[in-house]
């Protein structure tokens, strides 16, 4: 089976032993505490689940700046995006303290993790701007990832952590949320030697469905892991439970049994385009996938990135051998009226745009809100029904 990134075995930071976990949770209630940002708590969840292997905790200022500049830590570990615990105030904390990191997304703000504080450092405005420029490609607060990053605070708490739980993800998404440890075990139990991973923060239409099928066929994969982002998105994106229902219906009706695993992970979307695509590859390798689909404008937002920047970064900036997972490079995929099937557009010679069934996201939302089903060449009718019910409910609430 493919090795995790940076080590021979996966090293999740979740305290799995029930007695040890319970004792640490009791101790956490007596410790000095800080309330994390949503992004910081998502980082802790990912560290706990093994997705951020081989990191042992939150990065310090020097490592974060080095990662932003060169995609390597000071010790030489390849890593694409700083993993930080940023807060607005830490006046009551000193280096050497053992503290509780509290969850902002759960009522009562219980301890999510315990940290051995190695350093408390403040980023300057210039240093924060450097991270934004390198990671997001801009410093504009109109970019949702930049806005979220800058809103967290400038004080970085670094040090090793032990994770107590997986926040709201394991309760609200019990059927879907899985750690990298759990997915790796399920891939092994299935006996899959080659596994394709597909990242999604949206419902899957015919093009996405066929893209998974094409990738599996071409790399000779035994199975596919559809890996849903379950954390916070930008306003207007579909809630996770709606996406989940639509994806489950699609897989149930249109894929052979035991060929697709539907899972989700507890992370907030960064919208960091190319850099986030590389991070996605890291944690798909950690969960055991051998191949990762990277398509057009992967993890992008607006017009901040070129259509295929998330693919070319693997050629231009990721050193050879830095990752063991292989890329499946996908083009925009759509239904061809001439070929009567879904294809990658670059593989359809002598086609014009009007030879494809192409609908904008805005147009699809408008159709669904008005009770109109998109054409079956674009969306499976069972999937469209689920989405239509959601959008029509939203339109009804607006009118009340």
pLDDT tens digit sequence for 179-208? 999 999 999 999 999 999 999 988 889 999
Is residue 375 scored above 50 in pLDDT? Answer: yes
pLDDT value, residue 276:
98
162 is catalytic: no
Classify strands 155-163 and 111-122 as parallel, antiparallel or unpaired: antiparallel
Is residue 391 scored above 50 in pLDDT? Answer: yes
pLDDT value, residue 111:
98
For residue range 297-337, list pLDDT tens digits in order: 999 999 999 999 999 999 999 999 999 999 999 999 999 99
Is residue 399 scored above 70 in pLDDT? Answer: no
- Residue 394's pLDDT band, with cuts at 50, 70 and 90, is low
Is residue 149 scored above 50 in pLDDT? Answer: yes
pLDDT value, residue 235:
77
Which residue ranges form the domains of the chain, and what is each CATH number?
Answer: 18-171 (3.10.400.10), 174-399 (3.40.50.620)
Residue of 154, 201, 248, 329 marked catalytic? 201
Is residue 395 scored above 70 in pLDDT? Answer: no
- Residue 284's pLDDT band, with cuts at 50, 70 and 90, is very high
pLDDT value, residue 8:
96
pLDDT value, residue 286:
98
Interval 105-121 mean pLDDT? 98
For residue range 38-74, list pLDDT tens digits in order: 999 999 999 999 999 999 999 999 999 999 999 999 9
Percent of the chain scoring above 70 in pLDDT: 98
Task: Quote the pTM value.
Answer: 0.94
CA nearest neighbour of 263 among 175, 181, 190, 386: 175
Residue of 11, 21, 202, 213 marked catalytic? 202
The chain-wide mean pLDDT, for the chain, equals: 94
Please state, in angstroms and rounded to a whole number, the distance separating the CA atoms of residues 57 and 45: 11
201 is catalytic: yes
């Amino acid at each position: 089976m493919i090795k995790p990134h940076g080590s021979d075995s996966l090293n999740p930071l979740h305290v799995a032993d029930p007695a040890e976990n319970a004792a640490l949770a009791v101790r956490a209630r007596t410790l000095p505490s800080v309330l994390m940002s949503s992004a910081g708590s998502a980082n802790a969840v990912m560290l706990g689940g093994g997705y951020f292997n081989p990191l042992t905790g939150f990065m310090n200022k020097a490592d974060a700046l080095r990662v932003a500049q060169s995609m390597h830590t000071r010790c030489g570990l390849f890593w694409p995006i700083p993993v930080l615990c940023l807060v607005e105030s830490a006046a009551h904390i000193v280096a050497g303290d053992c503290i509780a990191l509290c969850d902002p997304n759960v009522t009562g703000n219980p301890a999510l993790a315990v940290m051995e504080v190695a350093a408390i450092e403040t980023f300057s405005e210039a240093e924060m701007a450097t991270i934004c420029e390198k990671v997001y490609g801009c410093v504009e607060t109109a970019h949702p990832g930049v806005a979220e990053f800058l809103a967290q605070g400038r004080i970085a708490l670094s040090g090793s952590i032990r994770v107590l739980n997986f926040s709201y993800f394991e309760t609200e998404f019990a059927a879907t949320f899985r750690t990298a440890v759990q997915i790796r075990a399920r891939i092994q139990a299935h006996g899959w030697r080659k596994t394709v991973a597909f990242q999604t923060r949206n419902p899957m239409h015919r093009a996405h469905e066929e893209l998974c099928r094409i990738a599996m066929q071409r790399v000779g994969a035994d199975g596919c892991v559809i890996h849903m982002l379950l954390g916070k998105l930008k306003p207007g994106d579909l809630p996770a439970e709606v996406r989940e229902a639509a994806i489950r219906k699609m897989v149930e009706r249109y894929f052979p049994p035991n060929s697709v695993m539907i899972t989700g992970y507890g992370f907030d979307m960064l919208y960091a385009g190319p850099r986030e695509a590389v991070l996605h590859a890291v944690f798909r390798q950690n969960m055991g996938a051998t191949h990762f689909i990277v398509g057009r404008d992967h993890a992008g937002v607006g017009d901040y990135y070129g259509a295929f920047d998330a693919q070319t970064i693997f050629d231009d900036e990721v050193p050879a051998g830095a990752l063991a997972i292989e890329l499946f490079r996908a083009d925009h995929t759509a239904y061809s009226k001439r070929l009567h099937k879904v294809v990658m557009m670059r593989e359809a010679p002598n086609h014009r745009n009007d030879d494809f069934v192409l609908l904008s996201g805005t147009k699809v939302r408008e159709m669904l809100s008005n009770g109109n089903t998109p054409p079956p060449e674009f969306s499976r009718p069972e999937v469209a029904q689920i989405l239509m019910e959601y959008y029509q409910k939203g339109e009804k609430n607006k009118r009340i």
